[in-house]
């Protein structure tokens, strides 16, 4: 059976070009950039070349790029660092949103336990916050605003430039978790007034376990990991040279083909949205415009998401769900709840995240299979029966 992979927001396939580019740095050029000898110094050169490439893609300066193990580490470091400097100045108020990734939310929760005042802004029913909300929330003791660039579950692209403006005007540090945006959207950290930005290589056909944190010159950054002078004392540990090289190739490649890839994915995405919208009592989660080119997320009333995923998997379709049952937690997706989906409905969600290598024919197959599986599960669902008989009110 063929496999149709539509879970690219979880991870992407590492491209052949990236793998080929990484391989020499495991066998032939295996040096440690901290070594003084020629083998080490060659690795140092490669490291700095990679840094320059990443910087160029974001319109940053190479000295503003710090390599990390991925998006979660970058988010942790950016937030904890801003909190540390805030604490020194007596500023303990942090603004974020209810729809952030857990790498942000759990870090904020840790700070809350340490006495920080964490304010999570509400989003509208498509997942947006407004710059005005941020402006109104900023106080004299605000030390950080952290708002994601593009939502990993529902694809909402936040008004980052406008939020960046507000923060810059008020003199508050602005961090954005851009893990789902880098390599998918044009980003200019200077134009968009971004002070710190997290990214992860495996979301754009790079390898897993490597990411970066952009930190604007003049913004304080403390280390999360101690033990060496790497990354200007901000991130100890021998640099993951193969991974960093892979990241730099992947990001360059992504930006080189950004427009054609997005053009292709938007056509597929909209075809998928239109097809799934025809299923009764279903609803798209997130906006139709200002939406990630690769993201489709639906709720289907009367069914539960995990069983939907398992049946789709049996038909070769690899997708994801905001159902509680897939995560091991009891509550369904915090993002779906934040945009106002009731618990009952949020349990029946399906996320399909595309890549440029998906085809129209695959989209047709997905639409057909999702329709069948939803229908099959509804036939055995007591909730669906109650909805049909009127004992329970339809919400979608």
Among 303, 336, 338, 373, which residue sits at the site for another protein (rule: CB under 8 A)?
303
CB of 179 to another protein, least distance (A): 25
Nearer to another protein, 148 or 377 (CB): 377
From the candidates 57, 167, 299, 325, give the one annotated as an active-site residue: 325
Nearest one of 171, 105, 109, 114 to 139, comparing CA atoms = 171
Name all contacts of 259-264 with Cβ < 8 Å and 24+ positions apart: 260/356, 261/293, 261/356, 262/184, 262/293, 264/356
Nearest one of 272, 274, 279, 254 to 360, comparing CA atoms = 272
Find the helix packing angle between 258-277 and 241-256, rounded to 10°: 80
CB of 344 to another protein, least distance (A): 4
Q: Does 384 bind another protein (CB under 8 A)?
A: yes
How many of the chain's residues bind another protein (CB under 8 A)?
A: 28
Q: Where are the beta strands (DSSP E) in 202-241?
A: 211-215
Q: Does 300 bind another protein (CB under 8 A)?
A: no
Distance of CA 116 to the CA centre of its chain: 25
Among 177, 195, 304, 362, which residue sits at the site for another protein (rule: CB under 8 A)?
304
Nearer to another protein, 83 or 346 (CB): 346
Task: Pick out residues in 306-365 that bind another protein (CB under 8 A).
Answer: 306-307, 310-311, 314, 323-326, 328, 330, 332, 342-344, 347
In the beta sheet, which residues pair with residue 3?
none
CB of 383 to another protein, least distance (A): 4
Nearest one of 174, 287, 278, 203 to 15, comparing CA atoms = 203
CA distance 49 to 21: 13
CA distance 159 to 295: 17
Contact by Cβ (8 Å): 74, 234: no
Nearer to another protein, 326 or 355 (CB): 326
CB of 396 to another protein, least distance (A): 13
Stretch that binds another protein, among 169-177, 237-245, 278-286, 382-390 (CB under 8 A): 382-390
Q: Does 214 bind another protein (CB under 8 A)?
A: no
Nearer to another protein, 9 or 303 (CB): 303
325: annotated active-site residue: yes
Contact by Cβ (8 Å): 138, 172: yes
Q: Report, as residue numbers or ranges, the catalytic residues.
A: 325
Binding site for another protein (CB under 8 A): 302-307, 310-311, 314, 323-326, 328, 330, 332, 342-344, 347, 379-385, 392
């Amino acid at each position: 059976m063929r496999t149709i992979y539509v879970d690219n927001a979880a991870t992407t396939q590492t491209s052949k070009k990236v793998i080929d580019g990484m391989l020499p740095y495991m066998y032939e050029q295996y040096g440690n950039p901290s070594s003084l000898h020629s083998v080490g110094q060659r690795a140092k050169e490669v490291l700095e070349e990679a840094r320059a490439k990443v910087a160029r893609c974001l319109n940053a300066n190479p000295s503003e790029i710090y390599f990390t193990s991925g998006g979660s580490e970058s988010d942790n470091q950016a937030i904890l660092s801003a909190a540390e400097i805030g604490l020194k100045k007596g500023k303990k108020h942090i603004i974020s949103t209810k729809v952030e990734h857990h790498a942000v939310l759990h870090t904020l929760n840790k700070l809350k336990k340490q006495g920080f005042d964490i304010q999570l802004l509400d989003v509208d029913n498509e997942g947006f916050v407004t710059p005005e909300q941020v402006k109104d929330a900023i106080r004299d003791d605000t030390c950080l605003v952290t708002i994601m660039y593009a939502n990993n579950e529902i694809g909402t692209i936040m008004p980052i430039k406008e939020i960046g403006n507000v923060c810059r005007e008020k003199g508050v540090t602005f961090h954005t978790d851009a893990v789902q945006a880098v390599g998918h959207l044009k980003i200019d950290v200077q134009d968009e007034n971004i002070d710190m930005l997290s990214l992860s290589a495996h979301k754009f056909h790079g390898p897993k376990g490597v990411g970066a944190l952009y930190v604007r010159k003049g913004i304080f950054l403390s280390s999360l990991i101690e033990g060496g002078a790497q990354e200007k004392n901000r991130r100890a540990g021998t640099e993951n040279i193969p991974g960093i090289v892979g990241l730099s190739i992947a990001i360059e490649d992504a930006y080189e083909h950004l427009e054609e890839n997005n053009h292709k994915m938007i056509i597929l995405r909209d075809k998928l949205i239109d097809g799934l919208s025809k299923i009764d009592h279903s609803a798209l989660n997130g906006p139709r415009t200002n939406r990630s080119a690769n993201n489709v997320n639906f709720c289907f009333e009367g069914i539960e998401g995990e069983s939907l995923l398992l049946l789709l998997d049996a038909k070769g379709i690899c997708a994801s769900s905001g159902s509680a049952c897939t995560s091991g937690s009891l509550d369904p997706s915090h993002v779906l709840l934040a945009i106002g989906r009731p618990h009952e409905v949020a349990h029946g969600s399906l996320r399909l995240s595309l890549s440029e290598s998906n085809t129209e024919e695959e989209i047709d197959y997905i639409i057909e299979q999702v329709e069948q599986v939803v229908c099959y599960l509804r036939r055995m669902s007591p909730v669906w029966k109650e909805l049909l008989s009127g004992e329970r009110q339809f919400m979608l």
